[in-house]
Amino acid sequence: MAEDGLVVKAPKVLILSAPGTNCAVETSNAFSDLGARPEIVGLHLFKEKRVRLLDYDIFVIPGGFSYGDEISAGKILAAQVKLHIGDLKNFIRMGRPVIGICNGFQVLVKAGVLPFSPSCEQSASLITNDSGRFENRWVHLRINTQNPSLFFRGLPEMIELPVAHGEGKLVLRSPKQLEDLKRNRSIAMQYVSDDGKIAPYPANPNGSVFNIAALTNPEGNCLGMMPHPERYTKNYQHPNWTRQTFQKQAFGLAILKNAVDYCRG
């Protein structure tokens, strides 16, 4: 919903594109299916001041390998976002939905947006998987029902989504920071075994602290997640779709739909 209380019938979605991003089209297709108006916008348009973030209702940083993940995954794009998208803090403060997916999560973390910090100082990182390999498979996830995120409204506590990353291990500055994340309910999802229990590899594909798969700001409108919702927007995309009985909807699409519905009021 717009900040003036007017209902947005077809929310405008800005999907950021930079050299190396490769999931923008799938993300755009998902939002189109939901009746939104997605636009894939190159970062250079922000540099040239031809685009204004506040003209949009939803902001997405999609997956991929921005700038070849040189230095570290998402680091260069994070610096570019901080330098050229100055409206991002206001966008989040106004309650508009922001989602960083995989490489987008890495960008939000390395830009200091997540975990939430008023000063936007980086206090965490996403580093090389403990397995030392690129993990490309489906994982079981448990949604934190105490988290206030608008993205997970109406979803069951247990879902499955695909992951595809080589640097997805979330590390924090200190044990105290983990306690802060628990206290302010910013942990949105955790990797779990098929029976819903916290478990090590392979249930946790990367070794993230406390099996964290997704974080939000305390208000819940800014989400960073390693799994790919845009890769599960049709039931038949699930590898067991003809036999499984517990998943009756494409949960990736449901996550994005919640953002669209939120803007529609």
* Catalytic annotation, pick one of 102, 140, 160, 263: 102
The answer to whether residues 129 and 206 touch, using CB atoms and an 8 Å cutoff, is: yes
140 is catalytic: no
3 is catalytic: no
Buried/exposed code over 180-191 (b: 16+ C-beta within 10 A; e: otherwise)? ebeebbbbbbbb
Cα distances (angstroms) measured from residue 92 to each of 61, 106, 117, 160: 14, 17, 12, 27
Q: Strand 58-61 to strand 135-143: parallel, antiparallel, or no bridges (unpaired)?
A: unpaired
Q: State how far Cα 225 lies from the chain centre.
A: 4
Q: Give the C-alpha separation, 252 to 98, whole Å.
A: 15
* Catalytic annotation, pick one of 26, 135, 160, 230: 230
Span between the terminal Cα atoms of the chain, in Å: 5
Q: Give the C-alpha separation, 178 to 200, whole Å.
A: 18
Residue 17's DSSP bridge partners are: 42
135 is catalytic: no
Q: Which phi and psi (to 5°) does residue 231 adopt? A: -95, 5
* Catalytic annotation, pick one of 140, 228, 238, 263: 228
Residue 224's DSSP bridge partners are: 100, 215
Cis peptide before 202 (omega within 30 of 0): yes
Catalytic residues: 102, 228, 230
